[in-house]
Amino acid sequence: MYAVPNVRGAILHMLKGFRDFILRGNVVDLAVAVIIGAAFAAITASVTADIITPFIAAIVGAPDFSNLVVHVPTLRHVVPPNPLPAGYIPPGELHVGKFLNAVINFLINAAAIYFMIVMPMKYVMAKFETPAVATTKPCPECLSDIPVDAKRCKFCAQPV
């Protein structure tokens, strides 16, 4: 007769391992970072669409910068479907405005992350960093790097 494995115990063991994994600090920190990042991305998208894009459009003279399209000649005539599906892009159209909006969003996000997270963290980490102890010193005669405890230079044999 076959032995029935302890399924309940195996499931409880897996659930305990999953709980320990979820409650580790790194996973919780990552979840918080993803949520804050999504909210921040919405803010930067709004800044780009509502402030920066109209400002650039006023300089360029186009009323709506996000609808900036470059038409490229195609090799054959394509009949568009009828009715047009939502989001249909005819062949030969390059939506440069949408791409520029995405680039501006990326640059705003990158600058904000750098100046609000990376720079302060470098400053804080520098306070806690202990200076490294020198393990070598220059030889006074030949200027080669030699160990601090050396009594003679291994390159020029001069006493140090």
For residue 4, the model assigns a pLDDT of: 55
Q: What is the domain count for the chain?
A: 2
Is residue 77 located within the same domain as residue 141?
no
Structural domain span for residue 158 = 133-160
On whether residue 125 sits in a domain, the answer given is yes
Comparison of pLDDT for 22 and 138, the residue scoring more: 138
Is residue 115 located within the same domain as residue 146?
no
For residue 37, the model assigns a pLDDT of: 85
On whether residue 2 sits in a domain, the answer given is no
What's the pLDDT tens digit per position in 64-117?
667 777 877 777 776 766 777 676 667 778 888 888 888 888 888 888 888 888
What's the pLDDT tens digit per position in 4-14?
567 888 888 88
Residues 150, 32: Cα–Cα separation, whole Å = 52
Q: Report, as an integer, the average pLDDT of 133-151.
A: 88
Percentage of the chain beyond pLDDT 90 is: 1
Q: Under a CB-based contact definition with an 8 Å cutoff, are residues 156 and 141 in contact? A: yes
Comparison of pLDDT for 63 and 148, the residue scoring more: 148
Is residue 68 located within the same domain as residue 85?
yes
Is residue 81 located within the same domain as residue 149?
no
Residue 45: name the closest of 121, 101, 94 by CA: 101
Is residue 139 located within the same domain as residue 76?
no
Block residue for tokens 């030949």: 142
Q: Report the mean per-residue pLDDT for the chain.
A: 81
Look at residue 157 and tell me whether its pLDDT is greater than 80: yes
Residue 160: name the closest of 146, 60, 123 by CA: 146
For residue 77, the model assigns a pLDDT of: 73
CATH of the domain at 125: 1.10.1200.120
What's the pLDDT tens digit per position in 124-136?
888 887 888 888 9
